[in-house]
Amino acid sequence: MALIVQKFGGTSVGTTERIKAVAGRIAAFKAAGHQLVVVVSAMSGETNRLIALAKEVQTEPDPREFDVVVSTGEQVAIGLLCMALLERGVKARSYTGGQVSILTDSSHTKARIRKIDEERMRADLAEGRLVVVAGFQGVDAEGNVTTLGRGGSDTTAVALAAALKADECQIYTDVDGVYTTDPRIVPEARRLKSVTFEEMLEMASLGSKILQIRSVEFAGKYKVRLRVLSSFQEQGEGTLITFEEDTKMEDALISGIAFNRDEAKITVMGVPDRPGIAYAILGPIGDANIDVDMIIQNAGVDGLTDLSFTVHRNEYQKALDVLNLKVKDHIKAADIRGDHKICKVSMVGVGMRTHAGIASQMFRTLAEEGINIQMISTSEIKISVVIDEKYMELAVRALHKAFGLDQPT
């Protein structure tokens, strides 16, 4: 008998028919003798609807009340799923994040899980009951409802699996695993049988929305066995996130391509090329709580240089305001320019560690398509470029083909 945490995403429980189908699937698992804790997201579209409602009433919604509103989608889903299970004669109970005591910090809309009290779940499991928990939500030490950020149900599932020391955490979604890239952009993308934890962490942080990054971080920290599977297919092994590079079943240099449209680029032009200039520009940005991703500074000409960096698109205007108000005159910059129509395309693979030439092949492929590279950043297992947003799909498809990701290995 295994203890398994299963998470079903929004599309998997998108209609009452789908909820009944999921109940059938869970019931079969339980009948096979497993203990199950199930995490569900809100029905698809529901969280977006709730966010829109909140913004209709308050343009900049109060974070505490925002969480009260947007967390309700999951509560509906857990109740409906339990009803579908009870209807089948399966003993089940639903719990909100607060009820099973998923304790978080107080950063509303992006709270972090601090502690989970698994007693209540254990008691239900011992009595042969299936436990259904609302994803995406928790409570802080004062009992305020918090949410974990978009896609946060993945993190709830992995955190529960860690707390319960489950044998496996299974993320059921609308694709049958992690693919070489988003199959919505490249239909030839292939499912990976396995992907290393490090690669998954990079892919999630570079924009692959298949798993919320924090869920991957949790899996790494607590060594949770994590698998991504389809809730629409009866069979299939999905994709296993592995911790051992050696046991990786596929030997490709590149495992996947990720992309992200959520960034914007800012360039501070004609600043004196002297010590302290990066701090003078990025210090105030940091003080304004704006996260910076890529940074490049050019070599100086005539004692002047340019410095470019990227920020989340939501914080683009705020960053420009900070620079114009607090930085521009102070450091005597010639100009501040911004571009919010950029995107970041990244190639990820542990195979890069041992192979040179990947970067040059990437740059050649983009050059052949006439795509200008604006920024580059690399780490041991990834290369990212910033390009014009309008070439994103072309770049991803060209790279996918050039690196043979559409070919079976």
Residues that bind ligand ASP (CB under 6 A): 9-10, 41-42, 47, 73, 135-136, 150-154
Which residue number places its CB atom closest to ligand ADP? 9
| Residue closer to ligand ADP (CB basis): 179 or 197 | 179
Q: Interface with ligand ADP by CB under 6 A: which residues?
A: 9-12, 41, 151, 173-175, 178-179, 181-184, 208-210, 256
Q: Write down the least CB distance from residue 137 to ligand ADP, Å.
A: 15
Q: Tell me if 345 sits within 8 A of 259, measured CB to CB.
A: yes
Q: Write down the least CB distance from residue 210 to Mg ion, Å.
A: 7
| Residue closer to ligand ADP (CB basis): 103 or 152 | 152
The tokens of 179 are what? 């693919």
Residue 51 DSSP SS3: helix
Q: Write down the least CB distance from residue 40 to ligand ASP, Å.
A: 9
C-alpha distances in Å from residue 64, one per residue of 41, 95, 142, 212: 20, 21, 12, 22
181 interface partner picked from Mg ion, ligand ADP, ligand ASP, none, CB below 5 to 8 A per type: ligand ADP
C-alpha distances in Å from residue 6, one per residue of 76, 165, 201: 18, 13, 20
Q: Tell me if 342 sits within 8 A of 387, measured CB to CB.
A: yes
| Residue closer to ligand ASP (CB basis): 73 or 256 | 73
Beta strand residue intervals within 238-303, DSSP E: 239-242, 256-260, 263-272, 292-297
Q: Write down the least CB distance from residue 24 to ligand ASP, Å.
A: 22
| Residue closer to Mg ion (CB basis): 9 or 238 | 9
| Residue closer to Mg ion (CB basis): 208 or 308 | 208
The rounded distance, in Å, linking the Cα atoms of 335 and 354 is 42
Instruction: Give 145's strand partners.
Output: 139
Q: DSSP assignment of 45-86, as one string?
A: THHHHHHHHHHHH-SS--HHHHHHHHTHHHHHHHHHHHHHHH
152 interface partner picked from Mg ion, ligand ADP, ligand ASP, none, CB below 5 to 8 A per type: ligand ASP
**217-221-227-232 Cα dihedral, nearest 10 degrees:** -50
Residue 38 DSSP SS3: strand
Q: Write down the least CB distance from residue 154 to Mg ion, Å.
A: 6
| Residue closer to ligand ASP (CB basis): 42 or 398 | 42
The tokens of 5 are what? 């945490």
178 interface partner picked from ligand ADP, ligand ASP, Mg ion, none, CB below 5 to 8 A per type: ligand ADP
Q: DSSP assignment of 106-142, as one string?
A: S-TTS--EEEE--HHHHHHHHTT-EEEEESSEEE-TT
Which residue number places its CB atom closest to Mg ion? 151
| Residue closer to Mg ion (CB basis): 79 or 149 | 149
179 interface partner picked from Mg ion, ligand ADP, ligand ASP, none, CB below 5 to 8 A per type: ligand ADP
Q: Interface with Mg ion by CB under 5 A: which residues?
A: 9, 151
Q: Number of H helices and number of E strands within the chain? A: 12, 20
Q: Write down the least CB distance from residue 209 to Mg ion, Å.
A: 6
Q: Write down the least CB distance from residue 129 to Mg ion, Å.
A: 27
